[in-house]
Amino acid sequence: MAGIVKTQQVAARGAGQIGQVFSLCAGHLRLVAPQPEDATGADIIGCTVFDVGQAAARQILVKRDTAHGDSKPFILWGFLANQWPPDSQKLFQLPRRPTTGEIDHLSLPPRKPSFNRNAPAPQREDEHKINNRIDAREVRLIGADGANVGVVPTRQALIMAEEAGLDLVEISPDAKPPVAKILDYGKFRFQEQKKAAEARKKQRVIEIKEIKLRPMIDDHDYEVKMRAAKRFFEEGDKVKVTLRFRGREMDHQDLGYKLLIRVKADMAEIAKVEMEPRSEGRQIIMIMSPKGKG
């Protein structure tokens, strides 16, 4: 059967009936379906477990007791009940078929997924599809060591990731087929968040700070205002210098323009004028930006 990856012999012996369906729990067989009315007595002589990935089926061999004069084995099929969600434990039994000593590989119906494909769990746009959330039938696989494995069925890639104790993460969903990588998703998410934080720092929004002056400002207040403006420029922000007039100070606007010329000269080493002084009502405004910041 396509998809079978490994076989395990599990010892099991006890009374059983032809037609019963069993599941494997912790190495022991457990009866999970009633016996048919016409069943005959049998001994369970062994259980051959086939791991078929998502199909999760188990093949149960039941052999009739030799005391009944018939040692021909019968094969029963059942889903492994402990892999189903607690609220939907269902079983499927195909008609039993007599076989010769060989394993009769019957066609299996697909296993019911452990989640509703029609109503997947909410996923943020910045999240990657991982493991069973990957809905592509095949992926271009990158191994845990970074090697290009090639295009493989998604089921096979999931098995490889599980055997490595890692996750299968879709890293390029728009590729044909999508590119997926075997990695530790926890570490991957941490690195992605770290890169995003660094990118946000580089994309810092430039703010416009404001300092307010008066035409007759004294030297001490002027120095305080200039230290604040210098700090804003060093942080990468622009500065709007607002010179406000009161009452009859409007008759001496020339003093205001001279003060703004002084500001330009004092900040010339670290800033440049982006908007020359212009009058707006009872105030004059000038905008400066740090050099090299546009």
26 with 92, same domain: the answer is: yes
Angstrom distance (rounded) from CA 58 to CA 121: 29
Q: Is residue 179 part of a domain?
A: yes
Same domain, 220 and 162: no
In a domain, 146, yes or no: yes
* pLDDT at position 196: 85
**At which residue do the structure tokens 């009452």 appear?**
247
Q: Which CATH number fits the domain that encloses residue 251?
A: 3.30.110.10
How far is it, in rounded angstroms, from Cα 182 to Cα 140? 11
The region, left, alpha or beta by phi > 0 then psi within -120 to 50, assigned to residue 57 is: beta
Q: Do 216 and 278 fall into the same domain?
A: yes
Report pLDDT for 158.
92
pLDDT at 32: 43
Q: Tell me the C-alpha distance between 12 and 54, whole Å.
A: 24
- For helices 219-234 and 253-266, what crossing angle results, to 10°? 50
**262 and 224 together in one domain:** yes
122 inside domain? no
Q: What is the pLDDT of residue 204?
A: 64
For β-strands 41-51 and 14-17, DSSP reports them as: antiparallel
What's the whole-model pTM score? 0.34
Last residue of one domain, picked from the residues 174, 201, 228 = 201
Of the three residues 75, 98, 121, the one that is the final residue of a domain is 98
Q: Let me know whether 172 and 233 are in one domain.
A: no
Tell me whether residue 21 is in a domain. Answer: yes
Give domain status of residue 103, yes or no: no
CA 225/CA 218 separation, integer angstroms: 11
Question: Amino acid identity, residue 65?
Answer: D
Question: Strands, E, within the chain: which ranges?
Answer: 6-10, 14-17, 22-25, 28-31, 41-51, 57-64, 73-79, 97-98, 138-142, 148-153, 167-172, 179-183, 208-213, 238-244, 271-280, 283-290
Same domain, 217 and 136: no
53 in Cβ contact with 3 (< 8 Å): yes
* Domain contains 18: yes
Question: Mean pLDDT by 10-residue block, N- to C-terminus, for the chain (294 residues)?
Answer: 34 41 44 41 41 39 40 38 34 39 39 46 64 91 90 92 90 90 91 85 77 91 93 91 89 88 92 91 92 64
Q: Which domain holds residue 187?
A: 131-201
The CATH number of the domain where 182 resides is what?
Answer: 3.10.20.80
Choose one of 158, 178, 201: the last residue of a domain.
201
Query: In the prediction, which pLDDT does 249 show?
Result: 85
